[in-house]
Structure 1
Amino acid sequence: MTITQLQYVLAVAEYQNFTLAAEKSFVTQPTLSMQVQKLEDELDILIFDRSKKPIAITEVGMKIVAQAKNIVNEANRIQDIVDQEKGFIGGEFTLGIIPTVMPTLLPMFLKTFINKYPKVNLIIKEKSTENLIRNIQDGHLDAAIAATPLEIEFIKERPLYYEPFVGYVPAQHRLGNANQLIPDDLDINDILLLRDGHCFRDNIINLCDASKSFKDDHFQLQSGSFETLINLSNEGLGMTLLPFLNTLELDDRKKQNLKNFQSPSPAREVSLIYHKSELKIQITNALYDVISSVVRGAIAFQDVKIISPLSK
């Protein structure tokens, strides 16, 4: 039994197809199939039921796959130990970021990070929170940036910053003359929201405490763009709420429609999240230090109230 054989088993278990598993493992299909077969022969069991399409994992195979994940992770930890002992920060590192954070945060820290740690091959992927969690669990992401708390047993969360919500309220809106906003002023049916699947949408619904009274019968908007929400708001279709960092690059005309909340301002917690196994922790720590130091200069708000993305 070898680590490579276990890695091939994990690939087949994930993709349920030998050809695709071989492609993702950067080996030929016959090589991968032969190694999986050798492991099955050595153990005298079947890990995969090849008669089914897609390939199915046998009952004993599920137990082997679960143990193989632990073994492969622990094997990878050996290189981590060596890298940490040598003070080496480098190698491939895959980072996931949620869509409502990617456009504003990435330009703030990426250049600084790659200049400071040129030996890190940083691969960045934009994904929903649900996909981030799944990809951290299956080992396809080394870390991610997401709105928290998530309260996932196998995930560690390290808050990077607390980002206040800012109202975008055109002059013709019923709150257009307000100097500041308070949550009690908000009507969830008067707020333009991102489409389902965005945690910032859940933040807003929780802020308004309106999950039961939310009506979506006037018109339905399926957008993942804050720019679209702003444009619709300018057309008199309602107000919207924006994360603070998304307001920094607005033009002066649009900034006139921004309204802050009375203190404490509602805010979201944005964290660096990663598997509790802490593989490649030296790179994770480097990312945390760079991002938190960069953002600290951009967000000066101190008195905030965290609004959770979790359903109430």
Structure 2
Amino acid sequence: MTITQLKYVLAVAEYKNFTLAAEKCFVTQPTLSMQIQKIEDELSILIFDRTKKPIQLTDIGQKIVNQAKNIVNEADRIQDIVEQQKGFVGGEFRLGIIPTIMPTLLPMFLNTFIKKYPKVKLIIEELNTEDIILKLNNGHLDAAIAATPLQEENIKEIVLYFEPFMAYIPEGHRDYPKKEIEVADLDLNEILLLQDGHCFRDGILNLCKNNPKKEFSHFQIESGSFETLVKLANEGLGTTLLPYLHTLDLKESDKLKLRHFKEPKPAREVSLLFAKSELKIHIIDALRTTIAGIIKGAIVFQNIEIISPLAKNKK
């Protein structure tokens, strides 16, 4: 059997469809089917149960797929070894970033990185945490930037920085006169939240776990952007919480409505994520070093408390 044949097996296992797997592998469906059939004939077993829709792995097929992932990863590592030996930092690199980090962090480091490593072709996707985990595990991302810890068995996390939460309090609100606020001051019934699926939303809910939300409310809105939440707060429709880096771009008039939390300040942990196979680790290290060099001057808070990004139903 060949590495190419194993890649075909992995594609069918992922997409559960021979035609779609062939498209993703840039071969014809008959070619892909024939190569998988050769492996099955060689091993005298069936990897896939073709009678089910969508196609399913057999019990022995699942074990073969698990081993095939290891073999393909180790084969790819040979290229990594050669590139590191030559001191070459280049090639295609797929990076996922969650939506609440992308707009603020990416402009800070992207220009510096591409100038320093011009031979790296960065392919950047904005993805939620769930999709990032899936794509890292499937090998469709080389690395990602997200709020952590995530407690994923097959994913490594390197902390990049800690980003405090900031309260956005409009004029006329009872807490507006305060110079600093406490978590106990937060009223979950007043906080304007990002829509479900954003880990920053889950972080706020975890932060306010001891501040119960009442059943009655005049309206309920969940937005996909901090900009919308700020505008609604300015209209007197509630308060909101923002990640620190996002507050740097606010208008000066809006910055007057920001309040720090008393120490220890609630904060999120932002990390660089990658599969434990550590493929393309030389590019991952270059990315980490670049971001660390830029971010250290932007965030200087010390006494903080990390708020989990995990939804309450995930342990």
- TM-score range relative to shorter protein: over 0.9
Partner of 2:278: 278
Stretch deviating more after TM superposition (270-279 or 254-263)? 254-263
> In the TM superposition, what is the alpha-carbon distance from 1:50 to its structure 2 partner?
2.1
> In the TM superposition, what is the alpha-carbon distance from 1:217 to its structure 2 partner?
4.3
> In the TM superposition, what is the alpha-carbon distance from 1:31 to its structure 2 partner?
1.6
After superposition, residues 97-176 of structure 1 pair within 5 angstroms as: 97-176=97-176
Q: Is the 8 A contact 1:157 1:273 kept in 2?
A: yes
> In the TM superposition, what is the alpha-carbon distance from 1:216 to its structure 2 partner?
5.8
> In the TM superposition, what is the alpha-carbon distance from 1:222 to its structure 2 partner?
2.9
Q: Is the 8 A contact 1:46 1:61 kept in 2?
A: yes
- Listed one character per residue, the Cα deviations across residues 127-154 of structure 1 (whole Å, up to 9, x for unaligned) are 1111111111111111110111112221
Q: Find runs of 4+ consecutive structure 1 residues off by over 4 angstroms.
A: none
Stretch deviating more after TM superposition (202-211 or 255-264)? 202-211
- Report the Cα distance in structure 2 between the residues aligned to 1:50 and 1:23, rounded to whole angstroms: 18
2:90 counterpart of 1:90 = yes
Matched to 1:214, the amino acid is K
After superposition, residues 43-54 of structure 1 pair within 5 angstroms as: 43-54=43-54
> In the TM superposition, what is the alpha-carbon distance from 1:298 to its structure 2 partner?
1.4
**Number of aligned positions between the proteins:** 311
- Report the Cα distance in structure 1 between the residues aligned to 2:247 and 2:102, rounded to whole angstroms: 14
- Report the Cα distance in structure 1 between the residues aligned to 2:118 and 2:93, rounded to whole angstroms: 12
Partner of 1:214: 213
2:18 counterpart of 1:36 = no
| RMSD over aligned Cα atoms | 1.5
After superposition, residues 199-278 of structure 1 pair within 5 angstroms as: 199-210=199-210, 213-215=212-214, 217-218=216-217, 219-278=219-278
Q: Name the SS of the counterpart of 2:99 in structure 1.
A: coil
- Listed one character per residue, the Cα deviations across residues 276-297 of structure 1 (whole Å, up to 9, x for unaligned) are 1111100000000001111112
- Report the Cα distance in structure 2 between the residues aligned to 1:251 and 1:39, rounded to whole angstroms: 62
Q: Is the 8 A contact 1:188 1:210 kept in 2?
A: no
- Report the Cα distance in structure 1 between the residues aligned to 2:214 and 2:169, rounded to whole angstroms: 20
- Report the Cα distance in structure 2 between the residues aligned to 1:204 and 1:244, rounded to whole angstroms: 14
Q: Is the 8 A contact 1:146 1:272 kept in 2?
A: yes
User: Structure 2: where are the runs of 5+ without partners?
Assistant: none
Q: What TM-score results when the alignment is normalised by the length of structure 1?
A: 0.95
> In the TM superposition, what is the alpha-carbon distance from 1:210 to its structure 2 partner?
3.5
> In the TM superposition, what is the alpha-carbon distance from 1:234 to its structure 2 partner?
1.3
- Residues 287/215 of structure 1: CA separation in 2 closer, same or farther (3 Å cut): farther
Matched to 2:152, the amino acid is I
Q: Name the SS of the counterpart of 1:112 in structure 2.
A: helix
Q: What TM-score results when the alignment is normalised by the length of structure 2?
A: 0.95
- Listed one character per residue, the Cα deviations across residues 29-52 of structure 1 (whole Å, up to 9, x for unaligned) are 222111111111111111112232
- Report the Cα distance in structure 2 between the residues aligned to 1:210 and 1:33, rounded to whole angstroms: 56
Q: Is the 8 A contact 1:155 1:274 kept in 2?
A: yes
Q: Name the SS of the counterpart of 1:165 in structure 2.
A: strand
